[in-house]
Amino acid sequence: MTGFVSIVGAGPGDPELLTLKAASRLRTADLVLHDALVDPAALGLASHARFLYVGKRARRKSIAQSTIERLLVRAARRGERVVRLKCGDPFVLGRGGEEALALAHAGIPYEIIPGVSSAIAAPGLAGIPVTHRGLASGFAVVSGHAEQAFAPMLRAIAPQSLTVVVLMGIANRARIAEVLVDRGWPAQHPEAAGVLVIGEVVSLAEALSAATATAVRAA
Amino acid sequence: MTGFVSIVGAGPGDPELLTLKAASRLRTADLVLHDALVDPAALGLASHARFLYVGKRARRKSIAQSTIERLLVRAARRGERVVRLKCGDPFVLGRGGEEALALAHAGIPYEIIPGVSSAIAAPGLAGIPVTHRGLASGFAVVSGHAEQAFAPMLRAIAPQSLTVVVLMGIANRARIAEVLVDRGWPAQHPEAAGVLVIGEVVSLAEALSAATATAVRAA
Q: Which residues contact A40 (CB under 8 A, 6 or more apart)?
A: none
B64-114 tens-digit pLDDT: 999 999 999 999 999 999 999 999 999 999 889 999 999 999 999 999 999
Range of the structural domain that residue A102 is part of: 4-113
Mutate to test the interface with A, among B6, B84, B91 (most CBs of A within 10 A): B91
Q: Judge if A171 and A207 occupy the same domain.
A: yes
Spatial contact of B117 and B195, defined as CB atoms under 8 Å apart: no
A108 and A135 inside one domain: no
Residues in chain B: 219
Query: Which of A211-215, B22-26, B90-94, B122-126 has the weakest average pLDDT?
Result: A211-215
ipTM at complex level: 0.85
* Same domain assignment for residues B8 and B109: yes
Please indicate whether residue B56 is annotated as part of the active site: yes
B7: distance to nearest CA of chain A, Å?
A: 11
Mean pLDDT of A5-23: 96
Interface of B with A in 123-152 (CB under 8 A): 123-125, 127-133, 137-143, 149-150, 152
Q: Which residues contact A3 (CB under 8 A, 6 or more apart)?
A: A30, A75, A76, A77, A78, A79, A80, A81, A82, A108
* B169 in contact with chain A, both atoms CB, cutoff 8 A: no
Nearest to A17 among B114, B139, B162 (CB): B114
Same domain, B20 and B69: yes
Give residue A13's pLDDT band: very low, low, confident or very high (50, 70, 90): confident
Strand partners, A196: A166
Residue B60 scores a pLDDT above 70: no
| pLDDT band for position A126 (cuts 50, 70, 90) | confident
Which is catalytic among the residues A35, A39, A86, A89?
Answer: A35
Is B35 an annotated catalytic residue?
yes
Predicted pLDDT of residue A37: 79
Among residues A56, A80, A113, the one where a domain terminates is: A113
- The residue annotated as part of the active site, out of A14, A39, A86, A168, is A168
Per-residue pLDDT reduced to its tens digit, A147-198 = 999 999 999 999 989 989 998 888 888 898 899 889 998 887 654 344 444 3
H/E element, B41: helix B40-44
Task: Supply the pLDDT for residue A122.
Answer: 86
Q: What is the total count of domains within chain B?
A: 2
Q: Does one domain contain both B58 and B74?
A: yes
Domain boundary among the residues B97, B113, B129 is at: B113
For chain B, the average pLDDT equals: 84
Nearest chain A alpha carbon to B104: A216
- Asked if B16 and A20 come within 8 Å (Cβ–Cβ), the reply is yes
Is B112–A124 a contact, with Cβ atoms under 8 angstroms apart? yes
Task: Report the residue of chain B nearest A152, measured CA to CA.
Answer: B161
- In this complex, is the C-beta atom of B72 within 8 Å of any C-beta atom belonging to chain A? no
pLDDT in tens, B151-204: 999 999 999 899 899 988 888 888 988 998 899 988 876 543 444 443 333 333
**Can you give the pLDDT at residue A189?**
65
Q: How far is the C-alpha of A38 from the C-alpha of A15, rounded, in Å?
A: 8
Percentage of chain B surpassing pLDDT 90?
57
Question: pLDDT value at position B127?
Answer: 78
Catalytic residue among B14, B39, B86, B168: B168
User: Do residue A104 and residue A131 come from a single domain?
Assistant: no
> Minimal Cα distance from A140: which residue of B?
B140
CB contact under 8 A, A133 and B14: no
Answer with the residue of higher pLDDT: B3 or B40: B3
Q: Greater confidence, A217 or A144?
A: A144
- The Cα–Cα gap between A149 and A219 comes to 32
Looking at the structure, do residues A20 and A92 belong to the same domain, yes or no?
yes
Question: Which CATH number belongs to the domain containing residue B45 in this structure?
Answer: 3.40.1010.10
Q: Are residues A95 and A62 in the same domain?
A: yes
Judge whether residue B33 has pLDDT over 60: yes
Which H/E stretch holds residue A163? strand A163-167
Report the share of chain A in percent with pLDDT over 70: 83
Q: Does position A216 have pLDDT exceeding 60, yes or no?
A: no
Q: Which one of B113, B133, B148 terminates a domain?
A: B113
pLDDT of residue B190: 58
